Amino acid sequence: MNLYAERVSKIDTENAFKVGPYIAEVEKQGHKVIKCNLGEPDFALPKHIREEVKKQIDNDLTHYCDPQGILPLREAIASYISKSRGISVTPDRVVVFPGAKPPIGLCQQTYCNPGDEIIYPSPGFPIYESFIAYIGAKPVPLHLREEAGFSFTGAELEPLITDKTKLIYINFPSNPTGGVATEEQLSEIARVIKKKANPDIRIYSDEVYEHILFDGSVHRSIAPLMPDNTIIISGVSKSYSWTGGRVGWAVFPTAEEAQTFKNLNINYFSCIPAYNQMGAKVAIESPESPAEIRKMVTAFQERRDVVVSGLNSIEGISCQKPKGAFYVFPNIGGVCESIGAVSAYNSLPDEVKAKTSPSTLFQMFLLFKYHVASMDRKSFGKIGTAGKHFLRLSIATGIEDLKNGVERISKAARDRDGFAAFIKEGKRLS
């Protein structure tokens, strides 16, 4: 008898965390690593939020609370979503989670039976894809094309929708590409879903990067176009640089659905710390918050411009300028060819090839020999991605480190002999 249930072997992970031990290994050797792997803002939690949390701890708001989320926070979320999305939201439709990640898997478990189909963007946040096999559903990747700015149209979505489609994930601004939706695009997507999908389809609208926008871009949600079908997801991690606070939320189409997820919270988490929830309430409502967000976004935009310009100066690399989030997603296909990563990959044994890719080989070479931590293309969706060579670089680190990182990438991209020696070592290839 096997120790583990069969489904355990089917769930994947988020490679941004998997790279952590590799980084520690390199640092243990005395090297400074430029960390462009994690999606975590490098700014301090704003003072007004931090002080609210401290106050609530001093007030002993440290005990069990409503598993759905404390009412003051749900009221704040409902009011904010109502005003910002132009729809009517009541607190009984809001559920607070320990971050914006748990609803990804919980929605799949709740809405989908084995054999049901789930559409998700690829490249996209890795947990969209990794959890699907675990619940026995069918993954249906919506491949985002570089030549289309890593976006998609209703016409591209339409053939993927069948009578078995239960969930459709969309993410704007997007991770890892920084894509931002237009009003026309969302209107067309909504039209196609209404035409092709079952009436009870659920759209998982991941809007966690809603405030991280550049060049005057405006956040738009599909929720006003399909309020009866859309689940709106957001949280405090990205907008307020509070990844450790673990406060996220979902706004469901109905109060009945919210009660179902409240019950899941009871079974999985009991509740989210009330003192952090009060901090989240202040984050949403305080007049001090917009200025803090603008300060962070201004810095991200400056970094984006520097990194994109630097990457585009490297032969074999091309990089689009993202309109949101805090990542860049360069095409390294030319480097993978010139440095020998494609030929090295093709020569690997099948069991090794299954675990890696040409961009993964360059990612590992870049980390272990040039000490820049990045993420490869297959970290953001594995199905149907052969021949697509990209890296994701987080710009959530200091601008001087980013400049240094680009210089190291430039050197690595020209180091064919060093890469050949790295492959010959046969270590850390995946």
Q: What gap in Å lies between CA 148 and CA 140, rounded to an integer? A: 19
Q: Has domain 6-31+291-423 been given CATH number 3.30.450.40?
A: no
Q: What gap in Å lies between CA 192 and CA 159, rounded to an integer? A: 10
Average of pLDDT values for 8-27? Answer: 87
Q: How confident is the model at residue 51, as a pLDDT?
A: 98
Q: Are 10 and 130 in contact (CB under 8 A)?
A: no
Pairing of strands 34-35, 372-373: parallel
Average of pLDDT values for 197-225? Answer: 97
Average of pLDDT values for 172-196? Answer: 96
Q: How confident is the model at residue 397, as a pLDDT?
A: 95
**What are the tens digits of pLDDT across the range 41-51?**
999 999 999 99
Length of the chain: 430
Q: Is the pLDDT of residue 9 over 80?
A: yes
Q: Is the pLDDT of residue 59 over 90?
A: yes
Please state the pTM of the whole predicted model: 0.96
**What are the tens digits of pLDDT across the range 95-113?**
999 999 999 999 999 999 9
Q: Where are the domains of the chain?
A: 6-31+291-423, 52-288
Average of pLDDT values for 74-84? Answer: 98
Average pLDDT value over all residues in the chain: 96
Top CATH class of 52-288 equals: alpha beta
Q: What is the 3-state secondary structure (H, E, C) of 118-172?
A: EEEEECCCHHHHHCHHHHCCEEEEEECEHHHCCECCHHHHHHHCCCCEEEEEEEC
Q: How confident is the model at residue 268, as a pLDDT?
A: 96
Q: What gap in Å lies between CA 398 and CA 209, rounded to an integer? A: 20
Q: Is the pLDDT of residue 10 over 80?
A: yes
Q: How confident is the model at residue 393, as a pLDDT?
A: 98
Place of tokens 């929708």: 161
**What are the tens digits of pLDDT across the range 131-145?**
999 999 999 999 999
**What are the tens digits of pLDDT across the range 234-262?**
999 999 999 999 999 999 999 999 999 99
Q: Is the pLDDT of residue 333 over 90?
A: yes
- b/e string for 352-364 if b means 16 or more Cβ within 10 A? eeeebbbbbbbbb
Q: How confident is the model at residue 117, as a pLDDT?
A: 98
Q: How confident is the model at residue 126, as a pLDDT?
A: 93
Comparing C-alpha atoms, which of 306, 293, 317, 290 is closest to residue 389?
317
Alpha carbon 403 to its chain centroid, in Å, reads 24
**What are the tens digits of pLDDT across the range 290-305?**
999 999 999 999 999 9
Q: What gap in Å lies between CA 322 and CA 154, rounded to an integer? A: 21
Q: What gap in Å lies between CA 322 and CA 304, rounded to an integer? A: 8
